[in-house]
Structures are given as C-alpha cells and as structure tokens.
Structure 1
Amino acid sequence: MPMLIAAAAALSFPSCSAEVGQFEVRNDTSSRSARQETTDETAATEETTVTTTTEFVYRGNIYDTNNRLLTYGTYANENEDQRLYGEDCGYSFGNIISEASAGLDNALKDLLCTKNPTPVNDKNNVGESVKLTIDADKQIELCTYMANMGMAGSVVVLRTDGSIMAEASYPTYDPELYYSDTEYSSNLYSGTLSNKAFQNASPGSCFKIMSEVIADKNGIHTVYDDGEWVDSGATIVNWDHDSGMYPIPERTLSSAFVGSSNIFFAKVFDTLGTDKVLEELESLFHFCDPIDCDFGTISNNIEIYCLDDLRRSAFGQAYVKTCPIYLAALGREAVFGDMVKPFVVQQVVDTNEPTKECAKGSSPYEVIASIPAEYRQNLLDGMRGVANNLGIYVPDNYEFFAKTGTAETGAGDYLYITGCLRNFADRSAEKPVYSDYSNYAQDGSYIIVMQLQNPADFGFNFASETGGLYQGIVNIVLSAY
C-alpha cells in the first residue's frame, strides 16, 4: 500500500511553445482577439469579433553585475526580436539566457518588455534592461575551466545575500548559431541545451545535510550501523561496507555524517516515519513546496510509495530530486543558519543608460527556512570534518565547510560537492546591501556547488575523489577581480 506521494515533479519554467530538449518554449503572439456576443431579444444570436492589437515591444538588454553587455536585440525587422550576445558571452551564457533553454530571456520577459522611459535608437517600443547579479568574468572563467577539464555538469556560486554570482553549465552551445545554422542546431544533443544548474537530479549524500539536522532535532544521536542492512527483502549498503570496520554498535551522528553512512540516516527516517520526515523537510528546509524565484520556480521532488523509498530518501536516492541552485541555498543555510531565496535580478535599468536605475531588483536576504540555533553546531562540526578530508586549500582568511554526494541516476552516477568558503570577516549577520559587488570579496563568503555528471571519464567512483576539480573552481572564485 503506498505510504505517501509528496512534492512537485520537476522544475517549472516560464511559459513557452516548441519543445527543445527537456524544456518547453512558447513564443507569445503580439495580438489578441476578443469575441463579443450580442443578442437581440426577438432575433437570432449575432456573433461579432473585435480584434485588438497589442504593440510589439522589443526586449531590452541584459547586463552583468559590472555593466557588461550580455545579450541585446536587433531592430532591423519589424516585430522580430532577434537576440545577439556580447563579446565572449554567447557560449558561456547560452543555456542560461537563451529562449532555446527557457532561460532568462523568457523568465525576465515581463521586465525586458516594459517600455523604456526614453526612446531607444529612435524607437518607442523598446523595453527596459536588466542588470544581473552574475559576474560575467567568473562565469566565462568557470565555463572555460569546465571545457578544458572535460567536465560535464554545473557549477553554482552563491553569495550570502542570495545573489547568484555564477551558474556555469557545460556542455553548452552558441545560441546565435543555434538559431542561424540548422546543421549546427540539429547536431546538438538535447542535454546540451539544458541549464544543468537549474535541472533536477538525485543529489545523493548532499541530502544528508538535511537528514543530519532532522536526526539531531529528534534526538537520534546513536544507531547500530551494520555496514550492510538487509530488511524486508531490500538491502542498503554503506560505500565502505567491505572495509572491515563493521558492525559499529553505537555509531554517532557525527561519525555517520563525516563518514557518510547511508544506513545511519536510513534508520533515522525509518524510526521517524513518512509524515514526520516530510513535516521536518518542509519546516526546516522548504523542501516540499515550490520556491518562486525571479529566474523561475525551484520545485524539489520527493515521492514515498513504500518503506524502502522512505529509507533511501534519507541519503538522496529513491524519488528525491533537486537542482544545484537549491543545494547552494541549502549550503548557505547549513553554514549560516538561514536559507535565503536565490536571485539574479540586481536592478532594472534604462536601456540608454545602464547605470541609471528604473526599478530595484529582487530583495536580498529573503529568509525562507531556518535551522534552530541549538542544532547548528553539530552540523557545522560535521561539515568541517568532511572539508578536512577533501584536502582543499583556502586562504588564511577563509574556513571551508562541505558535504559530498555520490548519486545514482538513470544517466549514471553524478558526483557533488556542496561547500562554503566562510570569510572570517563575514558580515552576513548584518545583512549588508550591495549596490554592486566589486568589494564583496573583502568580507563576503561564497557557497560553491560542483556537480560532475561524467565521473567515469576521470575514473572517479566517489565524490570524495573530486577535490582536485573543486580546487580549480575555488581558485577561480577567489582570484582577484
């Protein structure tokens, strides 16, 4: 008998019409017709159609946080909104911005099509522009790094106010060639089109960040860990089950987290039951309800049909799915106590003068979930222990916290590191608001999520082996602007 089905099935994107890969893209028409029916009391019904035309508005531009032009429109053909990209930006931002990936050109269309206060190139039907929180230099460096290393997957870098500094997704594509060259577009794999940073997949043991807090909050601090647990015909094993260290009669919560024991957390969920687990996931981590962000809706997934599903959910398997952007928000909550809503819109600006603000962007520090203060220290200690085992070098003014994850998916294993570089001078508790992020590195911290979708190409079996790749990402994030 099914126990429960909970949460949404997949990521929700802005409305669109032709399918491309796993995303759906709709092209809105520029005219609408209204049908009005009038009835004469003594005659038959007469139907009259009244057509009204909505003025076509060309989308404004999109800039990065340093006012670098990322994408813009051409006005050569009437009512045709062809998008072009700034120098070196097309490939790195293709599956982040392009309509082909249901990207920001779709998600921010209402803002981009709000008429600019002044005419642009003598046209009165050009929209305002949007300034993103993304740093194009870092985005390009990260995308180039992934390409040079042969990494498939994504990298998300989140600041503590919730702003996204980078979301590199590789492999990617050239969006201008996609629309202009039929041969080029037909040779692309559909997976290439997707923004993997905003695409749901099994998170593996990164989910144990949540499981650890749930265990602590419910007073479960020791469990009999057999290394290989067979019950009701189902088998759950730890990654190191044949190491000779099992059984561990009283395995502690701290040891289970640092050693990434599947059995410990499976037994925690088994003890608490489905209803309690789902209640805690939602109240502590906003996991079960959608999170409406300015770039789209994060819709995590958890479905529990049987006891084995419940147990495997505890280590991010079975029907548990989320995206790297959510994992970044989770990493922020793990280290600083609060989950804040991720965002990319820094300002709405005048298309003629991108330094002139037309409207404020998304609100920073919008708290959507919190870990009670008394359950934070054990998690921090555990993430410090995981980080120490990865061998990542960080400068003296930072401390590193992490959780690794090895996830079995239908496309093979995905490996994750959800980490946080906490600046010892961090001012997050004061909630500083940044008009720009040029000085953020002085006292700001970074949450960095790396997702590797092709570990077999590197000979990796576990996420703990990916520290060298993650180190390169850390070096890019912390390099001088």
Structure 2
Amino acid sequence: MAAPRATRMNIPLRRVAVACALMIFALMGKVSEIQTLRANSLADDPRNLRAMIDRFAHPRGDILLRDNTVLATGTRQAGMFRYRRVYPGGPMYAPVTGHLSIYGATGVERAEDEVLSGADPKVRVRTLVGGQAEQGASVRLTIDSRAQRAAYEGLRATGHKGAAVAVDPSTGAILALASYPSYDPNVYATFDGEALADTDERLRADATRPLLNRATEHTYPPGSAFKIVTTAAALGTGNISPETSVAAPTRLTLPGTTTLLGNAGGEACGNGRPTLAVAFRLSCNTAFAVLGLQLGQRVLRAQAEAFGFNGAGPGIALPLARSVYPVRLDAAQTAMSAIGQFDVRATPFEITMIAAAVASRGVIMRPYLVAEVVLRDGTVVSVTDPESMPRTISRDVADQLTAMMVTVTGPGGTGSAAALPGIDVAAKTGTAENAAGAADHAVFTAFAPADEPRVAVGVVVENGGFGGDVAAPIARDIMKAVLD
C-alpha cells in the first residue's frame, strides 16, 4: 500500500517542482530583458538616482552666444551633486537655453545634451585624445545679443504676450528668438526635489504660460501677413503681375453665405479696381479674398506648403509646432484662408520664414541655432555650414514681391512704423482675428535691406491690435540692432 501512497504524494510535488522551475525561467527571462532590452531606458529614467548623480558629477559644457557671452554654465559645489547649472542669461534667453534639472531638460539643454554632457562620441574621442578629464563640450549659438534684447524688451514693453524671431536670410542663422512672458531657468537648477516640484507646479499653473515658447511651439492666425503667400501664388501663375487690376469691392459677400467681408475700418480699396501692387500696399481684404477664389484652394495650398506649411519643419534644436494650411475647403473658407484667416495657423517662426524666403530670392536657407561645438581648450568639434532648401518661389516672383513689400513701409503704407532711415525695408503687416470678443493679434514680418538682405523678422503680439502700430516697431528695433 505504500507505493500507491508515495505515487499520490509525488504527483503534487512534481507539479510544485515544475511550477518553481517555470517561475525561475520566467524570472531569468525578465532579468535578461531588463539587463539588455531595457538597460538604456532605465539608465535614462529621471527617477534613476545613479543616473542623476552621474549627470551632475562632471563639468558640463557651456551654452554661449555668438560673441561668447555665457548663457549657461556650471558651478562646483559640495554634496552628492557636484556641479550645479547656472543661467546668467535668465528669462530673456530661457526659450532658447531651456533648463537642466534633476528630472530632465528642455530647450538647447535637451537638444544638445549629448554634446554638453560629453556623451557624444566625437566629443568623447577628442577629449580622450587631448588627455583631458571627462567633461562636456560647449555649444556656441547663432543668437545675436543686441537683436535678442531688442526682441524681448520690445515684447515686454507692450504688456502683451507674444513672440519675435529674426534670421539671417543669406545663411539661415537664427539671430533672435524671444517669447514673452518668460521664466528664470535658474529656479529649475535646484537639487531640492520638494522645492523643484513646487516651482514647476506654480509655473505650469500660471495663466500666462511662461514655460511656453510662443516663438516655435504656438500657432496663430497669420492674418494679412499670409497675403505674401497668396500674392506669390498669383504671380506664380504667370497670368497676373503687380500691375494687373483686381476686383476689390468695399464689401464682399462670401460665396454660399450671407456673411459680408470688409476691409480694415470698412474703407474702400482705391477705386474698387486697384492694381495688385496697390491692393497689397493697402492690404485690402476683399481684393485678396477674390484673388483666392480665382486661384482656388489647391493652388493656394501648394504655395503655402512650398513656404513650409503642413510640413514637419526644419530641425532647429527646439520643438517646432506644425504651421497649417487647411484641406477640403469650400469657397467661403478658401476666400478667408487667402487672407490668413479661417483655420490657417502659423508659428512666429514660420511667419519669419515667409519673409526670409522672399529675401533669399526664393531659396530658403535651412535655419539653424547651433553655430559650432567647441571643447574647453578651444578645439572645434563641429561647425554648421549653411544649407539651402528646395526653392519656394522663382527669382522673378521674389523680386516682384520685394518691390511690393517695400511700398508697405513707405508713405501711405500700412507698415511705415518699421521704416529705417536710409534703408529700404520690405514688409507686410497683419491684423489677425481670433476668438470672438477678443482683440486682434498684431502680426508683422519684414526684411532689410531690401536690396541686400541681412535680417528677416517675424513678430506676433497677442491681442495687440493693428500689426502696423504694435508689432512693426518691435520688428524695426530688431532689424536696427542687427544692421547698426
């Protein structure tokens, strides 16, 4: 009788043994997965204390302006975290530098983290060959200090939220990138986790959204600044010239609706049949709405996409929201889109690139923010070379647009507040409607000198009103800062 009893006892024991073996194999498999497949993600996890300590254990490279002014650097200190990040540039440069904290990074700190930390293979090899201790490389930006100050201070003086961007159209170098209101990145450099959490919660709850980079991450209706695109599409057909007469009624009933579209202030547009050049100088809504209907949504969309709408955009070391020209429009929507309304949306960065495309005679130079990477001993690791992008408009269309845009800042033009003594400035104003009951956004884009462009700008002031009154002076001061 013992054998049957032993057999009955061995059955559950075998089952337990099999179950234990399966659990051991499962455990070994999970350990292998963690050690191999998930090793990198765990190392990069912001909750990984070892990774956090290592991040601040070695000197991190500086972030510099084009003139070597320091925007971000590190200071040695006692304690578990040996190097603390410091931002002498403060709020003025925060949209560019971003910040580095124990929980992560933003802005250039994030985009160039491998270079700044020294993890980049090129930096590591150069450091080892030079016999230097482990450290990061510095990043020299294209930002011009005078242009950046003019942009930031100009926005702050309005008392409104907004953004401003400036680029060198001949190279693509970004000269200014300002967003207001901003924040002090130094508040994120603390190693006190509780204080950091409180600071982050407070800034995220702020109704003015100081952490938002409005220059690249927020889109607006471009308003009449989009008429550059509509005009380019019209000139590109070969059937319309600046001297072509266009229909410009005082009021236009949008097709299929009872909605009346008027010009600014309800004014007439010349004699009702102005030339395209005059309609552009006066920024007549009805003339461009009619022109949009004649061209059709496909032609307008194709031209908008050539300028960069609906695309991912060029990589500029910062997050860039998609500028949008809508699809599947009816006639009324097409008319409104032709004047930069309805669902057309653009970042201030894209608004700048519209002017830059005209300034560079149709071939946009790829914009870039990082000029070069250098080691602490001055050794240059890499340099960004100017690079052209696909042609946006023909040289002939660009030349015609330039001539028309110059009249905008001349006597009787809507952008005369952006005029510079002795310099021809090519520009376009915009006054963009937004939420019902809210004041219009002020929009302005320009480049100068018109005959040999060195700077292109884009400015948006939220709820600022008429672009020629509020945004144009900011653009003027930025251009002056670059050209002086």
TM-score by length of 1: 0.75
Amino acid at match of 2:107: G
Checking the alignment, whether the CA contact within 8 Å between 2:66 and 2:144 is kept in structure 1 is yes
Identity %: 23
Q: Does 1:422 align with 2:426?
A: no
Q: 1:81 to 1:454 in 2, by over 3 A?
A: farther
Question: Counterpart in 1 of 2:14?
Answer: none
Residues 421 and 462 of structure 1: CA distance in aligned 2, closer, same or farther (over 3 Å):
same
Aligned Cα RMSD in Å? 3.2
Change (3 A) 1:329 1:423: same
Alignment pair present for 1:256 and 2:279: yes
Find the residue that maps to 2:443 and give its secondary structure.
Answer: strand
What is aligned with 1:23? none
Partner Cα distance (1:102, 1:271) in 2: 45
1:323 is the counterpart of 2:347: yes
Structure 2 residue aligned with 1:195? 213
Task: Give the aligned length.
Answer: 406
- State the match for 1:438 in structure 2: none
Secondary structure, in 3 states, of the residue corresponding to 1:477? helix
* Correspondence 1:60 to 2:64: no
Counterpart position of 1:435 = none
Amino acid at match of 1:166: A
Partner Cα separation in structure 2 for residue 421 and residue 83 of structure 1: 38
- Is 2:402–2:450's contact at 8 Å kept on the other side of the alignment? no
For each residue in 1:47-97, what CA deviation from the matched residue of structure 2 results, as whole angstroms up to 9, or x when unmatched? 2413247575555221111111111245656578753112xx112112222
Out of 99, 107, 110, the residue aligned to residue 111 of structure 2 is 107
Unaligned runs of 5+ in 1: 1-39, 427-443, 456-460
Give yes or no for the alignment of 1:214 onto 2:233: yes
Provide the residue aligned with 1:275 in structure 2. Answer: 298
Deviation string 1:434-480 (CA, Å, 9 cap, x unpaired) is xxxxxxxxxx611122222242xxxxx4222234444444443334x
Write the distance in 2 (CA, Å) between the matches of 1:471 and 1:452: 14
Question: Please, what TM-score do these two structures have when normalized by structure 2?
Answer: 0.74
Task: Tell me what 1:405 maps to.
Answer: 430
Instruction: State the one-letter code of the partner of 1:418.
Output: T
Consecutive unaligned residues in structure 2, runs of 5 or more: 1-20, 44-50
Aligned-pair CA distance for 1:329: 1.8
**In 2: Cα distance, 1:184 partner to 1:306 partner:** 45
Deviation at 1:236, TM superposition (A): 4.8
In terms of fraction of residues, the more helix-rich structure is 2
User: Any conservation in 1 of the 2:181–2:208 contact (CA below 8 Å)?
Assistant: no
Aligned to 1:448: 457
Greater radius of gyration (CA): 2
Equivalent residue, structure 2, for 1:26: none
1:106-185 aligned within 5 A: 106-115=110-119, 116=123, 117-118=126-127, 124-160=133-169, 161-178=171-188, 180=190
Match of 1:309 in 2: 333
Deviation digits for residues 129-169 of structure 1 (CA, Å, limit 9, x no counterpart): 21100123432354234334535312212112110111121
Q: Which residue of 1 aligns with 2:323?
A: 300
Secondary structure (helix, strand or coil) at the match of 1:304 reads coil
Cα deviation, residue 395, structure 1: 4.0
CA distance in 1: counterparts of 2:156 and 2:118, whole angstroms: 37
Aligned to 1:47: 29
Post-superposition offset of 1:123: 8.9
The 3 A distance-change label for structure 1 pair 99 and 319 is farther
Q: Is the 8 Å Cα contact of residues 143 and 170 (structure 1) preserved in structure 2?
A: yes
Matched, 1:349 2:374: yes
Task: Determine if contact 1:57/1:125 at 8 Å carries over to the other structure.
Answer: no
SS in structure 2 of the partner of residue 315 of structure 1: coil
2:95 corresponding residue in structure 1: 95
Alpha-carbon distance in 2 for matches of 1:325, 1:245: 30
Does the 8 Å contact 1:304/1:310 carry over to 2? no
Measure, in 2, the Cα distance between the counterparts of 1:70 and 1:258.
41
- In structure 2, distance between residues paired with 1:373 and 1:217: 10
Q: Which is richer in strand?
A: 1
Q: Check 1:327–1:126 CA distance in 2 against 1; reply closer, same or farther (3 A cut).
A: same
CA contact (8 A) 1:414 1:453 kept: yes
Opposite residue 477 of structure 1, the aligned amino acid is V
| Matched AA of 2:303 | E
Matched, 1:204 2:223: yes
Which secondary structure does the structure 1 equivalent of 2:215 belong to?
helix
2-side partners of 1:447 and 1:274: how far apart? 28
